[in-house]
Structure 1
Amino acid sequence: MRPENCQTMPELRAAIDALDRELVAKLAQRAGYIDRAITLKTAQGLPARIDDRVEEVVANVRRHAQDLGYDAALAEQLWRVIIDWSITREETVLGAKAD
């Protein structure tokens, strides 16, 4: 349902809750790709943090946000938190594998 089609607060809240479930599902799916990156990086001897890739991801997110009329600075902030979490997860697992 589009936001402008919501006629009551309960209806609006239900739509937001449904969207939140979808967002969490997408974040969980993204985490699965991070887990796969750990395996691939281990096999290729790559570090968890690859600064050029971090900045490429951020630039992509900013561009997508702008294309959608969304606040690019906010999107960048959110993604930097997601990226930092992802790198920390990779470093934790990669460090454990090195032991």
Structure 2
Amino acid sequence: MRIAPEACASMAEVRAGVDSLDRELVALLAERFRFMNAAARIKPDRAMVRDEPRKRQVIENAIAEARAQGLNPALAGELWDWLVEASIAHELARWDERASDA
């Protein structure tokens, strides 16, 4: 069980908390990218992979959640812009793999 950041009394506790969160973040990112695999499988046309209105919506949602959680919204916007672009690149690669197997 991870202790709250406010309860940390040593750098060892801080580092243990960060390491624990990093493991969870990696697992969540892996799951997110599995959804990108599903999207590549479902979308019938490669041109459908990049969806700018959806990209804006995802980033706006992240910014709103960042505000609600007390995280710098500009930082969240930058992180999610990178994440969505990485997701698009991943989805395009999976789409191309599927197309070449067909």
TM-score normalized by the length of structure 1: 0.90
1:94 aligned partner:
95
Stretches of structure 2 lacking an aligned partner (at least 5 in a row)? none
Q: How many aligned residue pairs are there?
A: 97
Distance in 1 (CA, whole Å) between partners of 2:54 and 2:90 is 16
**What secondary structure sits across from 2:49 in the alignment?**
coil
Identity %: 36
Partner in structure 1 of residue 74 of structure 2:
73
Structure 1, unpaired ranges of 5+: none
Deviating 4+ runs (over 6 angstroms): none
Which stretch shifts more, 7-16 or 88-97?
A: 88-97
Cα deviation per residue 1:34-87 (whole Å; 9 max; x = unaligned)? 111111113xx3611011100000110000001111111101111111111111
Partner of 2:21: 19
Q: CA RMSD in A?
A: 1.3
Distance in 2 (CA, whole Å) between partners of 1:95 and 1:34 is 13
**TM-score when normalising by structure 2:** 0.87
Counterpart in 1 of 2:58? 57
